Amino acid sequence: EPEVTQTPSHQVTQMGQEVILRCVPISNHLYFYWYRQILGQKVEFLVSFYNNEISEKSEIFDDQFSVERPDGSNFTLKIRSTKLEDSAMYFCASDQIGGNEQFFGPGTRLTVL
């Protein structure tokens, strides 16, 4: 069964450093998403991406965040200058157009020291 994959599973970084989280969505899906879950809290929507551009973003997705689909398979989330409060689990999801069913990856746990 096709699945969304994410790398790395755990990323540790120093405050102020840039990180790139990687996702490989399901191959025939066209909509891509990033969510985050701070420890013990609910899952929060960050951004959606379609046709090589951002479709929607939440207020969390400020200028320090960016997304990119650098090739036909990867979908990345970049955090330019990490802060302590960026420590969270980051989930990638993808959706087939018209499907209304987002498939989630296993997540990347980001720890900012």
Cβ distance to other proteins smaller for residue 75 or 91: 91
Cβ distance to other proteins smaller for residue 50 or 65: 50
Cβ distance to other proteins smaller for residue 58 or 74: 58
> Taking the alpha carbons of 16, 33, 4, 69 in that order, is the dihedral positive or negative?
negative
**Nearest distance from residue 106's CB to other proteins, in Å?**
4
**Nearest distance from residue 32's CB to other proteins, in Å?**
10
Give rounded-to-5 percent helix, strand, coil for the chain.
Answer: 5, 50, 45
* Residue 104 identity (one-letter amino acid): F
Cβ atoms of residues 25 and 33 within 8 Å: no
Residues within the interface to other proteins (CB under 8 A): 4, 30-31, 33, 35, 41-48, 50, 55-56, 58, 91, 93, 95-107
